[in-house]
Structure 1
Amino acid sequence: MADTLHQAESGVADPWSLPLEDFDVSRAEIYQNNMQGEYFRRLRQEAPVHFCPESSVGAYWSVTKYHDIIAVDSNHKLFSSEPSIVIGDPSDEFQPPMFIAKDPPIHDIQRKAAQPAVAPSQLSELEDLIRQRVCNILDSLPVGEEFNWVEKVSIELTTQMLATLFDYPFEDRHKLPFWSDVATTSDAVGVAGADMEWRMKHLNECLASFTELWHQRASEPRKFDFISLLAHSEDTKDMVKNPIELLGNLMLLIVGGNDTTRNSISGGVYFLNKFPEEYDKLRAAPSLIPNMVSEIIRYQTPLAHMRRVATEDTELGGQRIHKGDKVVMWYVSGNRDEEVIDRADEFLIDRPNARRHLSFGFGIHRCMGNRVAEMQLRILWEEIINRFERVEVTKEPRRVLSNFVLGYEELPVILHAKA
């Protein structure tokens, strides 16, 4: 009864009552109402590689099973990431190139220039700084009073990390998550009628700010922040002369550094409340935190999908895919594939092989900042366990409207201090 009422209120149909030919999992309302689970369960069972002939983002194939997703993600020659990695097409007047939406050699050259900022050698230097910031944030929170965890913790921690990775002026760090949200709010991810003029105004402000920083960094000795690395690399030092390309790569690096961690920070709190026996496990054995971090990232799946385009006719899952067809890998579905992941719909912090998830992707486009994201989450939970008996979720979260970013706008909580 409650599920039926939820469907009526959300305007999202029961997936088991729809003909398969009417399935369109690009609708952002499905994810905002957290109803994607049953949609993808049905596709995995009845049409693992499913064609949607008509939608607001055009025709597309959905790839929903774990091994099929890896097959697509690992074959960049057959499945190209150009011109975009989200399900919708870029508008004709605004197509900012970025290296995640490029194939080799451009992808490899530009990624290599930025990668040292999040290399393993940098992690040890970042760890003490992250821990200090985590402690400062947690010590500033009200105990016994309701507040929005997303605003006070998830956004604040990831914003401070972004400011470090870009060496962006710390006092202006709030601009970074704002620009990230502007970049990921568009028709291409299911937000119908997004105001393009408003988006361009703010993205041009982002570009102007970073262009000024670029020229500063280019005149200084090379450091290990993203802008300095790009400005000093022989392969990318002239990117500043192509503003639309610079903006595209800024959007990529800001969103990449923001959404995975930010929404996993919120998701972890929510899941431990939905599965209280797991919270008991955590309190009894804090050594499970590193494994729990991987389980959080699997269960949350911060980015629901990545899109590719077939470069030639091929077959996948018994379906004939034609050259030029749009192929969408639904990580959010593959991470719940019952044939590969035992008890896939359960959140289990001691799950064996918890890192065997799809959330970071595979092949040449695998998330280059995955270790930084894991480290932030690990340190956060180490310090939460040190301070609080429980982070209690008091109301259901309010989720982001997007078929790409699986995120939270609001998660009301109350902190309970340790006895």
Structure 2
Amino acid sequence: MSQAFKQTPPTTRDLTPKTNVADPVLWENYEYLPIFAKMRAEDPVHYCAESPYGAYWSVTRYEDIMAVDTNHHVYSSDAHLGGIIIDDAIQNDPDNDFKAVNFIAMDQPRHDEQRKSVNGITDPKNLEHFGKLIRQRTSDLLDSLPVGEEFDWVPTVSIELTTQMLATMFDFPFEDRHKLVRWSDVSTAEPGSGVVESQQQRIEELMEMAAYFADLQQSRKDKPDNIDLLTMMTHHPAMANMPPEEFLGNLSLLIVGGNDTTRNSMTGGVFGFNLFPDEFDKMVADPKLIDNAVAEIIRWQTPLAHMRRTALEDAVLGGKQIRKGDKVVMWYVSGNRDTAIFDDPDRIIIDRKNARRHLSFGFGIHRCMGNRIGELQLRILWEEILKRFSRIEAMGDPTLTKSNFVKGYTSLPVKLHRL
């Protein structure tokens, strides 16, 4: 396995106003990591004057990211100002009359009103029900896997388990659940990334998603007591009768949130334990470490690399003058490797004392509402793996997503070794 994945080598690149760490090409083989290390050391709030995304600030240190993420009065998520990702092309496309808006891309008070409408999905009673379902499905899938034969972990395990759970959370037709995978990928893909070739293709596929869910929604209108996200969206006053762009936007948000984060952490854990096998041995010796290991995997993986804000007023951040209207990008993937907070951050250390301080779920009013479900799925997966397998051997390097937003995997060849 390539040693390049094990550490962050220094970079000889000079930091200039043309340094565009968001270039998706850098994200196919971890080239962005040494650039972030250099930024944290030399220019932690870095200004990129020119890029395909326009000018933007990169916020790379943990404490500065926290300062932005917890100050929604100064740093806005509003979709009409650009939203939450660095690429706001779909919002600015003059030929697109159907622009997605969702509650994570809203400011107060609308944000809280809409978020509360679906928060109930993570009530303790629902989590108990989901836990039983997740364990049964995880057990069945792991028991069906070929032992001693090479297969691709990403579609066989990570995508399948998260898609099953996502279908349950929406009460989505199980036989069509793989549509959710495609729509999740399309929601976050850049044109030319290999997922979609053009912005027009992306819009057309998202419209298909909206039409499918609109038809499905009709069956929920006379079932207000169903416990699923689509029913909650249909009957809660804050989301009932949403305009089409908000319906589409919130669907995309919930699908991506329930899919990409968990599925890429599932793969990231397997890959990470191949890079640091002593940590896997540590977990085998003491399974009580699984809870903390899950938090550490999520820190190390950082499934969503960034969130973007727009400055509502002039402000000073890290000694730099931010102007009203500036695009400010919080690089969670950099903050989670800040040596001022995390010792030896490029390693997975499953008994790390402050693993839960990670930034991967965000902070403030936009903190991920599905974090408990994601952690539950990961914890159960590793509990069931340890019951069956002595090792999950990576047979080669993973293929990474070409994305500066979803930090994930498209392939990881593995071989299972039975206990």
Range class of TM-score, shorter chain: over 0.9
Check conservation: 2:185, 2:195, Cα contact below 8 A. Answer: no
Q: Say whether 1:213 aligns with 2:209.
A: no
Q: Say whether 1:316 aligns with 2:314.
A: no
The counterpart of 1:25, out of the listed 21, 24, 33, is 21
Q: Say whether 1:153 aligns with 2:152.
A: no
- Which residue in the other structure is 2:147 paired with? 143
SS of corresponding position for 2:321: strand
Q: Structure 2 matches for 1:105-120, cutoff 5 A?
A: 105-120=109-124
- Which residue in the other structure is 2:177 paired with? 173
- Which residue in the other structure is 1:229 paired with? 232
Deviations 1:214-235 (A, max 9, x none): 1110122322210101111122
Percent of matched pairs sharing the same residue? 54
Check conservation: 1:82, 1:103, Cα contact below 8 A. Answer: yes
Partner AA of 1:49 in structure 2: V
The counterpart of 1:58, out of the listed 41, 54, 57, is 54
Deviation, 1:186, is 2.2
- TM-score scaled by structure 2? 0.94
* Cα separation, 1, equivalents of 2:230 and 2:196: 33
Does the C-alpha gap of structure 1 residues 155 and 190 become closer, same or farther in structure 2, counting only changes over 3 Å? Answer: closer
SS of corresponding position for 1:39: helix
SS of corresponding position for 1:145: coil
Q: Say whether 1:88 aligns with 2:92.
A: no
Deviations 1:257-293 (A, max 9, x none): 0011000000000000000111111111111111000
Check conservation: 2:16, 2:48, Cα contact below 8 A. Answer: no
SS of corresponding position for 2:407: coil
Check conservation: 1:16, 1:42, Cα contact below 8 A. Answer: no
- TM-score scaled by structure 1? 0.94
Deviation, 1:20, is 2.9
Partner AA of 1:160 in structure 2: Q
SS of corresponding position for 1:16: coil
Check conservation: 1:26, 1:190, Cα contact below 8 A. Answer: no
Partner AA of 1:111 in structure 2: R
Q: Structure 2 matches for 1:327-346, cutoff 5 A?
A: 327-346=328-347
Does the C-alpha gap of structure 1 residues 353 and 263 become closer, same or farther in structure 2, counting only changes over 3 Å? Answer: same
Deviation, 1:3, is 8.8
Q: Say whether 1:276 aligns with 2:277.
A: yes
Any unmatched runs of 5+ in structure 1? 5-12
* Cα separation, 2, equivalents of 1:270 and 1:28: 21
Partner AA of 1:183 in structure 2: S
- Which residue in the other structure is 2:377 paired with? 376
* Cα separation, 2, equivalents of 1:58 and 1:200: 21
Q: Say whether 1:196 aligns with 2:199.
A: yes
Any unmatched runs of 5+ in structure 2? none
* Cα separation, 2, equivalents of 1:119 and 1:49: 38
Deviations 1:360-390 (A, max 9, x none): 0000000000000000000000000000010
* Cα separation, 2, equivalents of 1:398 and 1:333: 21
Does the C-alpha gap of structure 1 residues 410 and 191 become closer, same or farther in structure 2, counting only changes over 3 Å? Answer: closer
- Which residue in the other structure is 1:289 paired with? 290
SS of corresponding position for 1:236: coil
Does the C-alpha gap of structure 1 residues 192 and 371 become closer, same or farther in structure 2, counting only changes over 3 Å? Answer: closer
Does the C-alpha gap of structure 1 residues 192 and 159 become closer, same or farther in structure 2, counting only changes over 3 Å? Answer: closer
- Which residue in the other structure is 2:33 paired with? 37
Does the C-alpha gap of structure 1 residues 387 and 3 become closer, same or farther in structure 2, counting only changes over 3 Å? Answer: closer
Query: Greater shift after overlay, 356-365 or 341-350?
Result: 341-350
Deviation, 1:95, is 2.2
Deviations 1:238-259 (A, max 9, x none): 12xx222111110000000001
Partner AA of 1:407 in structure 2: G
Deviation, 1:125, is 1.2
Partner AA of 2:73 in structure 1: K
Deviation, 1:342, is 1.4
Partner AA of 1:197 in structure 2: Q
SS of corresponding position for 2:391: strand
Does the C-alpha gap of structure 1 residues 193 and 113 become closer, same or farther in structure 2, counting only changes over 3 Å? Answer: closer
Check conservation: 1:185, 1:194, Cα contact below 8 A. Answer: no
Check conservation: 2:86, 2:329, Cα contact below 8 A. Answer: yes
* Cα separation, 2, equivalents of 1:269 and 1:109: 38
* Cα separation, 2, equivalents of 1:14 and 1:56: 26
SS of corresponding position for 1:180: helix
